[in-house]
Amino acid sequence: MKRSYIKGIVHSNTQIATNIYELKIKSGDGSLTYFQGSPGQFYMLKSWKLDPFLSRPLSICDISNNMLTFLYEVRGKGTKIISKLNTGNTLELLGPLGNGFNLNLEGNIAIVSGGIGIAPMIYLMKELNNNIDFYCGFRDEIYYIDEIKKESNNIYISTEDGSVGHKGFITELFMPEKYNVVLTCGPIPMMKRVVEMCRGKGTSVYVSMEGRMACGFGACLGCTIETTSGMKRVCKDGPVFLGEEVVFSD
């Protein structure tokens, strides 16, 4: 799928939990009739002129009815500005970018998400069409569970404060030996632990990595990470990598 610059129009921008928003965008470009992108791919978003300088990457959470959905956490300046957008406001998008998840998977599959790492996994689950076990960990407040329930009956939930589901980390519930393939997105320590747990059990793990992005399409080398086969760009070679390939720093 070829990347393109798109003018987007905010359809809705709804706060669904503390600092967590769901943004729905429709195309404001008359010549473009539909959004493109596969699960794990992302768009660079910008709704400001010069400050901050760079666009911000957000994963595709869903594409349906010619509507592009993002789920995002307010972390700093860029996401704060995006959270203030109202219906009808415009923004610039560049995408789809990155490699995305392999969708030709067989056997027993699990998804493991931590916090806002849940964002790309909804679309992934929809497009995979397999029977999937979904493990999702949160710090305290849970969100988007109803969206997961639409696609999976096997949901495991944890919160660190024990307010919903298992009290503790999601990796304490995860049973790697049950699965042939595991797809994970979330905090680095969680993904590192998932890779370690699957090692030697014949389970392939795919991780969706984060990195600070500048160009978003492989030109600036600003987002490189260390892998067993050298430095790789999260935006172009990833964001999805084979877990065993990533050199996780301690």
Ligand X SMILES: Cc1cc2nc3c(=O)[nH]c(=O)nc-3n(C[C@H](O)[C@H](O)[C@H](O)COP(=O)(O)OP(=O)(O)OC[C@H]3O[C@@H](n4cnc5c(N)ncnc54)[C@H](O)[C@@H]3O)c2cc1C
Residue 58 touches ligand FES, criterion: CB under 6 A:
no
For residues 22 and 62, the answer to whether their CB atoms sit within 8 Å is no
Q: Where does this chain bind ligand X (CB under 6 A)?
A: 42, 52, 56-59, 70-73, 75-79, 98, 116, 119, 210-213, 234, 239
Smallest CA-to-CA distance from 174 within 201, 150, 149 is with 201
Q: Which is nearer to ligand X, 93 or 234 (CB)?
A: 234
Q: How many CA atoms lie within 13 A of 250 on its CB side?
A: 0
**Binder of ligand FES out of 35, 98, 233, 241 (CB under 6 A):** 233
- Size of residue set near ligand FES by CB under 6 A: 12
Q: What tokens appear for 35 in the block? A: 């959004």
Strands 42-46 and 90-97, sheet pairing: antiparallel
Judged by beta carbon distances under 5 to 8 A according to partner kind, the member of ligand X, ligand FES, none in contact with residue 220 is ligand FES
- Which contacts qualify for 103-106: CB closer than 8 Å, 24 or more apart? 103/38, 103/39, 103/127, 103/128, 105/130, 105/180, 105/181, 106/180, 106/181
Judged by beta carbon distances under 5 to 8 A according to partner kind, the member of ligand FES, ligand X, none in contact with residue 75 is ligand X
Smallest CA-to-CA distance from 40 within 97, 2, 1, 93 is with 97
Q: Which is nearer to ligand X, 20 or 198 (CB)?
A: 20
Residue 222 touches ligand FES, criterion: CB under 6 A:
yes
Q: Which is nearer to ligand FES, 103 or 219 (CB)?
A: 219
The binding site for ligand FES (CB under 6 A) comprises 213-216, 218-223, 233, 235
